[in-house]
Chain A
Amino acid sequence: MDVLELARWQFGITTVYHFLMVPLTIGLSILVAGMQTAWVRTGNERYYKMTKFWGKLLLINFAMGVVTGIVQEFQFGMAWSAYSRFVGDVFGAPLAMEGIVAFFVESTFLGLWIFGWDRLPKKIHLACAWAFSLATVASAYFILAANSWMQHPVGIEMHDGRPRLTSIWAVLTNNTVLAAFPHTIAGAFAVVGAFLVGIAAWHLWRRSEEERVWRSSLKLGTWVGVVAFAALSISGDLQGKLMFEQQPMKMAAAEALCHTEQPASFSVFAVGDVTRPDCENVKSITVPALLSFLAHNDFSSEVKGIQDLVPMYQEKYGEFYPVDERLGELSGKPIDYVPALPVTYWGFRLMIGFGGISAGLGVFMLWLTRKNRTPTGWWFPALGLAGIATPFLANSFGWIFTEMGRQPFVVVPNPTGVDGVWMFTAQAVSQVSPAEILTSLIALTTVYTVLAVVEFYLIRKYVRGGIPGVLPQKTDDGALAFAY
């Protein structure tokens, strides 16, 4: 494999992995801050126990999110130095802001929250919880603004062959990030909803101590999950419409839509080989005109297919890569404008499918536990625990779809924006040897695998320990005691 391919695998693996921790951290820190608020305001012990239990799981997960996030900050420069040079004037600013505005708050107030239970006045301690929860959300905004700029570059002019920032405001209010942010945050709440439902269902079924804690948690999880799914649908629909406008090829690839259709039907499921852009041998179950509606809010509008988009892209962005030894094997070769169709087509469907299953499962669990009932069959906790995986999968497939769907670009040209600002992924990679990337790929993947096992083991241990496992042991004089 060459540097490009290895670097892409590495970025994909480390980022998808990082984004398993992130949504759980975001969703859980907000809910834990909410639980603590309920406790401080009502004095009800149940909320204290909820804060302690879910807070412990939050901490186990938080550490992993932090350390895998450091890798992200470095790897743009390490593996994608040409990209960093090209976009640095624009892309670095939101990253620096994220550090100054969000990361400092997150890490400092998390430390205060962990160690401050007995040392800070109740309300200040609670304020620390809100400070780090809101900082996780702020950090998501900045990094999504950076990512959205890659999908839809705005606020720039070309200067000496590089984009130069002319308006940070335009970057931070890019319509792409305004749609991606609610979608991502809702995705985080879908994760934490399923997490609460699954674990609480298991405790209810086991008849663990503190039944009321688990009933409250299950209810909270379900409602959070349902509201999140509604928000996901609305923001996803907005994102879809923007994508048709900004990245027509990505949406055509999401549908594996070969020929322009008017009205265009939405493919629910396909049998056959979607990899072939000529669409032969594909039998697809479709809903007539739905795609037109998703694209333009109009059941009769036209949606362009891949075969018609390719010549348009070739005309605008060139047929061949430039002749440049830095491009390696791709130097002077024809540019393939079609993303990997099986990945985009199935990624899109799996994202929506798992999201729907997750929400449906939550509602079903709520119905099963109505009026303080608890099913006795083993299938009840099994369903809940399996359900935890579904929003994680939906998130991962969503990201894989949107990032694979913009290939072969790393910075996608904005059809209505400044002319000439785009970058092919092949041009973005560092001038390092394949052996270097392979080494870090193997090393990081190994470390991440080990840590995944450790985190899973710890979460399982603390879930099993229930409420008694997380209540604090007091020391004589209240000084810093066992806290981690």
Chain B
Amino acid sequence: METLWFVIIAVLWLGYLFLEGFDFGVGMLLPVLGRSNEERRVMINTIGPVWDGNEVWLIVAIGATFAAFPGWYAALLSAAYLPLTLFLIALIGRGVAFDYRGKVDNPRWRKAWDHTIVIGSWVATLCVGLLISTTVLGLPIDANGDRVGSPFAAIRLETVVGALAFAGYALVHGAVFTALKTEGEIRERARRVALLMAPVVLLPLVALLAIVAGLWAAVVVVVLGLAMWRLAADRDGQSFALMGLAIAATVVVLFGSLYPNVLPSTLNDAWSLTVANTASSPYTLQVITWVAGFGTPAVLVYQGWTYWVFRKRIGVQHIPAAH
């Protein structure tokens, strides 16, 4: 049962990284791919109906961790207090920005919110990467699960590589998504930018995987290579699916190497938090298993339907002049 919930939480993170990964990427690339206000509007509209639903994967991943592994939730969130504060502020900023950007017809107003989207997306992605690599690589926690030492304990060379890893992934993933969802000049630009930056910005991801799991990193490298090859061959859809496969392989490698730990102690192996010593009681796990068992398929169906409803590519000609 504990193992099942460890897998469910990994799947929730996978869903989050795959889905919000591209909307983070779109936000990060807003000034690069969107040269005019209309183009930026196009980019925002590609994620407009879905980004909020994507973010719920994070909320549920965190909520499920609280319910299934309270000790993990308590230790990780309190130990990474400051990076998480930054993360929350970034999420607040970009969430409000998507909603408020178009509500006043004024270039300065839009520009301010564009900046908020770009900075918010960058900061949030880096923080997500930091958080995941922290839980995989461990923290100086004591026998009680409390952090010993500096508030910046979560920020080390390896975790910074981890932060950059997810930022790099989001950049490429966001560009591929933009290529998939738009048409005209903006689509061409997205493809070009993705292919150009991929060899450089994906390096930290490979490095992180090599640190954690050695040669297993090669699997992800191959999938990423295939994704770029399909993009170069003008097959956006296949490329996007392969980018999904790449993040799935990444999550499998990271969480697979973490198990049965959930948060290793860098001070003493005996103090590491594991699925066994942080799990809730069997009854509680059973309750949330029922809820997840009925809830999750429904979520997949209606979120999938949302993507179907908004499947059409969009271009600048769809944006009215005033906006």
Contacts and interface: CB of A to CB of B under 8 A. Distances in A.
Interface in B62-112: 62-64, 66-71, 73-78, 81-82, 84-85, 88-89, 91-93, 95-96, 98-104
B320 A481 contact: yes
Contacts of B75: 81
Interface stretch (B52-60, B160-168, B228-236, B239-247): B52-60
B226 interface: no
Contacts of B49: 111-112, 114-116, 480
Contacts of A60: 99-100, 103
Interface stretch (B145-153, B171-179, B190-198): B145-153
B291 A447 contact: no
Contacts of A71: 88, 92
B238 interface: no
A461 interface: yes
Name the prevailing secondary structure of the A interface residues.
helix
Nearest to B292: A100
Interface stretch (B27-35, B254-262, B280-288): B280-288
B318 A120 contact: no
B45 A96 contact: no
Contact of B66 (A63, A82, A95, A437): A95
Interface in A151-186: 159, 164-166, 168
A88 B96 contact: no
A482 B66 contact: no
Interface stretch (A192-200, A211-219, A255-263, A471-479): A471-479
Interface in A102-147: 103-105, 107-112, 114-116, 119-120
B322 interface: yes
Nearest to B295: A100
Interface string A50-93: 00000000011011101110110110111101101101111111
Interface residues of B, number: 76
A64 B93 CA distance: 10
A436 B323 contact: no
Contacts of B102: 482-484
A85 B70 contact: yes
Contacts of A81: 74-75, 77-78, 145-146
A64 B89 CA distance: 12
Given A104-B299, A479-B314, A165 B291 contact: no
Given A100-B291, A104-B60, A473 B66 contact: no
A96 B288 contact: yes
B99 A111 contact: no
B3 interface: no
Interface stretch (A266-274, A329-337, A354-362, A425-433): A425-433
A479 B42 CA distance: 11
B43 to A, nearest CB: 12
B92 A67 contact: yes
Given A85-B145, A483-B48, 6 more contacts: A78-B77, A81-B146, A84-B73, A111-B50, A458-B100, A484-B103
23 contacts: A64-B96, A77-B62, A78-B78, A78-B85, A88-B67, A92-B284, A93-B287, A96-B63, A100-B63, A101-B291, A108-B306, A119-B309, A431-B78, A432-B151, A433-B151, A436-B151, A437-B81, A439-B82, A439-B85, A473-B322, A480-B318, A481-B320, A484-B98
Interface of A: 59-60, 62-64, 66-68, 70-71, 73-74, 76-79, 81-82, 84-85, 87-93, 95-101, 103-105, 107-112, 114-116, 119-120, 159, 164-166, 168, 430-433, 435-437, 439-440, 443-444, 447, 451, 454, 458, 461-462, 473, 475-477, 479-484
